[in-house]
Amino acid sequence: MEIVIIMNYIISYDIVDDKTRLKLFKILKDYGTHVQFSVFEATLNKKQYNKMLYEINQIKINKSTDSIIIYSLNKLTMKNKLIIGCFSGDQNKSCYVV
């Protein structure tokens, strides 16, 4: 029996070029939830994580101006997140500005 380990990740990015940023966005939306402008949350097994990394590495970013940062987090850390304001990652909640 194979043991599958699931990890939580926060992926944040700062990409100057619109076309490159859109490519990255399209990749990340297949793996996680878009929670802020340049931030995704993802829960992945090792195989999914490696596939995502492979796809990200196929994008040619400008290493002098662009960055992609991936944080790995345990389950407890994810449960302890504090959200102030409207959380765009909550698919069941509507946000209104009055």
Going by the annotation, the residues of the binding site for Mg(2+) are 14
Tokens 């859109």, located at residue: 22
Dist CA 57 CA 75 (whole Å): 26
Residues forming the annotated binding site? 14
Q: What element of type H or E holds 35?
A: strand 33-36
| Contacts for 82 with CB less than 8 Å, ≥ 6 apart | none
